[in-house]
Amino acid sequence: MGEMIMTIENMSLEEIREIAKSKLMGICGVYKDCDGSPMRICQGQSYGKPLKFGGIGSGASFNNNFLALKNYHLKMKVIGEHFEPDTSYEFFGNKLSMPIMGASVAGVNSFGGESVISEKEFCRAVVLGCKEAGTVGWRGDTYTYSLEKTFGLDAIRETGGWGVKIVKPRDQDMIMKLYHMAEKIGCIAVGTDVDGCESFAMTTHNQPVFRKSVDDLKELVSSTKLPVIIKGIMSVEDALIAQEAGAAAIVVSNHGGRVLDHTPGTASVLPVIVQKVKNKLHIFVDGGIRTGYDVLKMLALGADAVLIGRDMVRAAVGAGIYGVKTHMEYLKQTLSKAMKMTNCKSLNDISQDIIS
């Protein structure tokens, strides 16, 4: 028999990540543990230069995301009737195969990856790859985006609206225009990442961003029929303001450790936020989530679903749509295994009882 010809369709996730490592040389090490450690090539003070894949300043916030999750342990419970876990999740009336979605990472140029993948290719990879895996890809916003250049919305339009559009905290009129464009193509939801109010990339490219008041958020919520998500919540105070404004959901997030140095990890603040606003709005979370085991920890801490950021970039660079699909399927597989080993038949069975 002749040698098997390697094609994208038969590559393993490990092979996809090796390709990404080669393409992202000097930008991202595609480490087994993407932990924001000071020893990683993406880390260290940027001194006014683009952050690329690292965290802002010392990188402590990025590192804290990883450490906060690592500090939780799963309780193994394996005696009982056999079952196959049900990982399905309902997202604003849409059934997903898992409570795991692609985060709204945007601007491959900001990561230094524009030489290996274009913004259009990246957006298509995330949105279409997530859809093929039975879940949803969120799309974000950066200084190269405008009302005429809508890379994320273009990819979502291609799938018939199967996506979420997150807009930077630009001026109100611009945000609402982008919301209306998202509504027109049938997006599942829209939102704003309020922690982008001091975005280096936006402000240095003459794209002003602003802090948003509760009245600003109320105006945004009332401007569209779509569910509005407020991303970048790291305190109970902000969670309560988002609730008051009528947000359908929040994302507990420190922007991957890229906006404020020395914040706690998201897994550290998630439980107290859950305690205050659970069942009043949907609670999503990102930050340091690398496997299905990490996903289970976040769900046990009270999140309804999680978002995956940096790994979506690596998967897209490694093998485009197929890379993202393969990575999402890996996350689903490891979540299912973790649920079986902790006696969780469905997402409804997941509780703080399984972590310590």
Whether pLDDT at 1 is above 50? no
When pLDDT is cut at 50, 70 and 90, the band that residue 4 belongs to is: very low
Which pLDDT score, from 0 to 100, does residue 50 have? 73
DSSP character for 54?
S
Query: Which region, left, alpha or beta, applies to residue 92 given φ > 0 means left and ψ of -120 to 50 means alpha?
Result: left
When pLDDT is cut at 50, 70 and 90, the band that residue 6 belongs to is: low
The 10s digit of each residue's pLDDT in 256-288 is 999 999 999 999 999 999 999 999 999 999 999
Whether 112 and 50 have beta carbons less than 8 Å apart is answered as yes
| Distance set, CA 309 to CA 161, 287, 315, 316, 324 (Å) | 20, 8, 10, 11, 11
Whether pLDDT at 3 is above 60? no
The 10s digit of each residue's pLDDT in 328-356 is 999 999 999 999 999 999 999 999 999 99
When pLDDT is cut at 50, 70 and 90, the band that residue 56 belongs to is: very high
Whether pLDDT at 132 is above 50? yes
| 8 phi, psi to nearest 5 deg | -55, -40
**DSSP string of 225-257, one letter each residue:** SS-EEEEEE-SHHHHHHHHHTT-SEEEE--GGG
Sort strands 305-308 and 282-285 into parallel, antiparallel or unpaired: parallel
In order of their start, the domains of the chain are: 89-350 (3.20.20.70)
Mean pLDDT of all residues in 120-148: 97
Mean pLDDT of all residues in 32-55: 84
- Give dist(CA 58, CA 37) in Å, integer: 9
Sort strands 189-193 and 282-285 into parallel, antiparallel or unpaired: unpaired
The 10s digit of each residue's pLDDT in 165-219 is 999 999 999 999 999 999 999 999 999 999 999 988 898 889 999 999 999 999 9
Which pLDDT score, from 0 to 100, does residue 203 have? 84
Neighbours of 354 (CB within 10 A): 23
Which pLDDT score, from 0 to 100, does residue 48 have? 72
Which residues contact residue 206 at a Cβ distance below 8 angstroms, ignoring those fewer than 6 apart?
A: 143
